[in-house]
């Protein structure tokens, strides 16, 4: 009886366009005891009617996503971060795909927040978190989803983060490929603002080199003036891979150990 009663509550919620809920909400609004809700949720999770993201947070699984075990993370990320009380934006390759750069679609849903959070797996959807102290200041925009909205980094914030977290973005060659796809949507002044916020000069040098390499000189122009004003030391193009024999690009003070391989 508890399962049927909870199913009715879930069906009503889904009909209202809401695909997430707290276990405490299920207890309060269904009229069932905490123990009855716990057991009912265990049964419904086992047969794929709901998916558990946290012990206290569940996602309703519509029929069309039964095989996947959960709807896409874009359906529930905003609610998830709200109940976790963490600032966030969807970033890196996931944000790049939102802005039209889908050359290498990410195998995980990438989210930037202000503290370490372990990856969360909901059905086939894996949500991976990256930590940044700039998350509340970085430029992001609200994007519509089938269930509401989610915060997504702007193209400018996205390319800066791709350099910062290049390993998670498939290393620098893949980052350059994605930046090439995003280059036409970059605003030079907004890009410089995003770079200044983080203030990491070596990555600014690398970003400038990549932008010019993919023929995005207009986007790189204000950045070059700013980098030049900092009189930076020479850095390796690939962070962590110093090269004493590589060619030096004097415009950006970058040493190239091997040429970038951009797939466009």
| Tokens of residue 264, six digits | 């466009």
Structure tokens at 59: 């996602």
User: In DSSP terms, which residues pair with 117 in a beta bridge?
Assistant: none
Domain residue spans of the chain: 2-65, 73-256
Model pLDDT, residue 181: 94
Token pair 């366009």 is found at: 17
- pLDDT (0 to 100) of residue 3: 63
The order of strands in the sheet holding 148-153 is 120-122, 125-131, 109-113, 88-90, 148-153, 140-145
| pTM summary value | 0.92
Structural contact between residues 2 and 40, judged by C-beta atoms closer than 8 angstroms: yes
Spatial separation of the C-alpha atoms in residues 158 and 91, rounded to whole Å = 6
Cβ distance 153 to 160 under 8 Å? no
pLDDT of residue 257: 84
At residue 258, the pLDDT reads: 84
Return d(Cα 177, Cα 68) in angstroms, integer: 29
In the block, residue with structure tokens 């966030």: 88
Q: Give the fold, CATH level 3, of 2-65.
A: Arc Repressor Mutant, subunit A (1.10.10)
Residue 27, classified by CB atoms within 10 Å of its CB into exposed (0-12), middle (13-18) or buried (19+), is middle
CA–CA separation, 110 and 108 (whole Å): 6
Query: What are the structure tokens assigned to 257, written together?
Result: 């150990």
pLDDT of residue 193: 97
Mean pLDDT by 10 residues, the chain (264 residues): 81 94 94 93 95 96 95 97 98 95 82 97 95 97 96 98 92 93 96 95 95 94 94 87 74 89 80
Residue 244 burial by Cβ neighbours in a 10 Å radius (0-12, 13-18, 19+)? exposed
Q: Is 119 left (phi over 0), alpha (psi -120 to 50) or beta?
A: beta
């Amino acid at each position: 009886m508890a399962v049927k009663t909870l199913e009715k509550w879930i069906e009503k919620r889904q009909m209202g366009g809401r695909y997430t809920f707290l276990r405490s909400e299920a207890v309060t609004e269904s009229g069932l005891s905490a123990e009855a809700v716990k057991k009912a949720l265990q049964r419904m999770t086992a047969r794929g009617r709901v998916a558990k993201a946290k012990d206290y947070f569940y996602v309703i699984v519509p029929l069309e996503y039964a095989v996947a075990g959960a709807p896409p993370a874009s359906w529930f990320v905003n609610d998830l971060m709200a109940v976790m009380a963490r600032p966030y934006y969807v970033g890196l390759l996931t944000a790049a795909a939102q802005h039209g750069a889908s050359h290498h679609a990410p195998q995980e849903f990438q989210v930037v927040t202000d503290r370490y959070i372990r990856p969360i797996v909901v059905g086939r959807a894996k949500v991976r978190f990256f930590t940044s102290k700039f998350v509340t200041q970085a430029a992001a925009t609200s994007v519509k989803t089938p269930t509401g909205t989610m915060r997504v980094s702007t193209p400018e914030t996205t390319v800066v983060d791709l350099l910062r977290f290049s390993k998670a973005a498939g290393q620098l060659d893949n980052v350059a490929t994605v930046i090439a796809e995003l280059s036409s949507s970059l605003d030079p002044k907004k890009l410089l603002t995003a770079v200044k916020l983080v203030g990491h000069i070596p990555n600014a040098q690398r970003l400038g080199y990549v932008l010019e390499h993919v023929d995005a000189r207009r986007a790189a122009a204000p950045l070059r003036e700013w980098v030049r004003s900092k009189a930076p030391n020479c850095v390796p193009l690939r962070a962590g891979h110093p090269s004493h024999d590589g060619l030096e690009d004097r415009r950006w003070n970058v040493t190239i150990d091997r040429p970038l391989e951009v797939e466009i």
